[in-house]
């Protein structure tokens, strides 16, 4: 039996508190989900901006009107890359005769002359023995994948398969 002078909450008071909590949850929970989605999209846009800025810096600082060895979008058979550690390398396949020169008149080099695409770094001495390099982007890999046209145009992809149009981000 309750002691004299003790009071509790009535059923109606408890129902009102539960109703208020329900209304607050109905308003807040959908907005939290929207904030998470917006943050991921903003991170993707920021990463793309960083890659675009790296290409602009590369072209400007080296006086390039075209990228010597672009990672081009070629339609259904193209591949995008997310390795940002060195400049695209084609010297194994075609030599250095088709490459543009850096501001000192040296051929662009890609370190040890390995096959494959890697982006946004070049050998500033082009001596073939040592590779002091200039990095234009600080990430070694990115979450998203990119292609870079010879004119510096960047395209961003969800994965390395450029044959699926839905994989490309257009904003």
φ, ψ of residue 154 in degrees (nearest 5) = -105, 135
How many other C-beta atoms can be found within 10 angstroms of the C-beta atom of residue 124? Answer: 17
Let me know if residue 14 belongs to a domain: no
User: Residue 4: inside a domain, yes or no?
Assistant: no
pLDDT of the residue at 18: 97
Tell me the pLDDT tens digit for each residue of 27-45.
Answer: 888 877 777 777 788 888 9
pLDDT of residue 114 exceeding 80: no
Per cent of the chain over pLDDT 90 is 8
- Is residue 7 assigned to a domain? no
Q: What is the pTM of this model?
A: 0.57
Number of H helices, E strands in the chain: 2, 6
Domain membership of residue 104 (yes or no) is: yes
- In the chain, what percentage of residues exceed pLDDT 70? 57
Please give the C-alpha separations between residue 68 and each of 50, 65, 117, 135, in angstroms, as whole numbers. 20, 9, 12, 16
Q: Which two tokens stand for residue 61?
A: 């600082």
Alpha-carbon distance 126 to 26, whole Å?
A: 62
**pLDDT tens-digit series, residues 61-78:** 777 787 766 777 666 566
Contacts 24+ apart (CB under 8 A), 121-130: 121/84, 121/85, 121/86, 121/87, 122/58, 122/62, 122/86, 122/87, 126/102
User: Does the residue 103 lie in any domain?
Assistant: yes
Q: How many domains does the chain have?
A: 1
Residue 144 has pLDDT above 80, yes or no: yes
Give residue 19's region: left, alpha or beta (phi > 0; psi -120 to 50): alpha
Looking at the domain assignment, is residue 127 inside a domain?
yes
- Dihedral sign from CA coordinates of 162, 163, 167, 169: positive
- Closest Cα partner for 123 from 82, 79, 68? 68
Q: Rounded distance, CA 7 to CA 4, Å? A: 9
What average pLDDT does the structure give for the chain? 71
* Contact of 124 with 62, CB cutoff 8 Å: no
Mean pLDDT of 96-112: 51
Does 53 map to a domain?
Answer: yes
Question: What is the span of the domain harbouring residue 75?
Answer: 44-169
Average of pLDDT values for 119-132?
Answer: 56
Residue 19 falls inside a structural domain: no
């Amino acid at each position: 039996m309750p002691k004299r002078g003790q009071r509790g909450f009535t059923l109606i008071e408890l129902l009102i508190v539960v109703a208020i909590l329900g209304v607050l949850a109905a308003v807040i929970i959908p907005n939290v989900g929207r904030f998470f989605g917006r943050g991921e999209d903003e991170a993707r846009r920021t990463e793309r901006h960083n890659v675009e800025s790296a290409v602009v810096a590369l072209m400007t600082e080296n006086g390039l009107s075209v990228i010597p060895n672009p990672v081009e979008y070629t339609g259904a058979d193209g591949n995008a890359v997310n390795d940002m550690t060195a400049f695209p390398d084609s010297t194994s396949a075609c030599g250095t005769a088709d490459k543009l020169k850096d501001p000192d008149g040296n051929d662009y080099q890609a370190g040890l002359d390995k096959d494959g695409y890697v982006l946004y770094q070049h050998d500033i001495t082009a001596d073939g023995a040592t590779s002091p390099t200039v990095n234009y982007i600080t990430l070694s890999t990115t979450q998203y994948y990119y292609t870079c046209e010879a004119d510096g145009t960047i395209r961003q992809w969800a994965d390395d398969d450029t044959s699926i149009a839905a994989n490309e981000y257009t904003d």
